[in-house]
Amino acid sequence: MRDLTVRYDAATAVDGVSLDVGPGELVALIGPNGAGKSTLVNALCGLLRPASGTIAVRGDLALVPEGRHLFPSLTVDDNLRLGAWRRKDRDTAHIYALLPELVVLRDRPAGRLSGGEQQMVALGRALMARPDLLVIDEMSLGLAPKIVDGLAAHLRERNAADGLAVLLIEQNARLALQLCARAYVLEAGRVVAAGPSEQLRNDASVAAAYLGLEA
């Protein structure tokens, strides 16, 4: 993404952002409410037209949207299969191997799952597309730490096994900086800090704003 600017009428939500995710990289995008994270993701996925700047995606991208957006009356298995609507191969076995918690839920309507279970289905559905890049908008929102740890472990696994690249949008900076080797900090539509997560964790202003540590 180069010099990306996205506006809602006169309001600029993303203001000249440049961002890269390399093949097989885990990259986080953190920032407070209203920073422009979802706007950036929606532009990246082609749901919003940027006012200026360029976006180039090499390979296939799949999105795990904020709020999950499952089909509540369809079963877990049917929701997963919808993730592969563009592919001939709609076999869900590899998702159950990766997320075994879903095996016993496979015939249950998605609307009758807990929040964490729904988030797992949303992740599985995105992985059904066998993407090169997975974009996850707010993975941890409303989920118990144990579930979040499980999802993070699954992502690490897929990253190590298949070189899946991930752009993780997170309010939980601690989790994001732990899971991803590199991160961008977005504030009021601009990148205010970027670099290796280790370096950002040790940056006093980032730590004060996002990790609850004294500056």
Residues of this chain that interact with ligand ATP (CB under 6 A) are: 8, 11, 13, 31, 33-39, 171
Min dist. Cβ of residue 33 to ligand ATP (A): 3
Min dist. Cβ of residue 107 to ligand ATP (A): 33
Smaller CB distance to ligand ATP: residue 31 or 131?
A: 31
List CB contacts of 195: < 8 A, sequence separation 6 or more.
182, 183
- Contact criterion met (CB below 8 Å) for 120 and 102: yes
Q: Using the structure block, give the residue that is written with the tokens 């997560």.
A: 197
Smaller CB distance to ligand ATP: residue 44 or 120?
A: 44
Smaller CB distance to ligand ATP: residue 59 or 212?
A: 212
Min dist. Cβ of residue 52 to ligand ATP (A): 16
Q: With 0-12 CB in 10 A as exposed, 13-18 as middle and 19+ as buried, what is 74?
A: middle
Min dist. Cβ of residue 181 to ligand ATP (A): 22
Alpha helices in the chain (DSSP H): 37-44, 76-82, 93-98, 115-128, 145-162, 173-179, 197-201, 204-210
Smaller CB distance to ligand ATP: residue 83 or 189?
A: 189
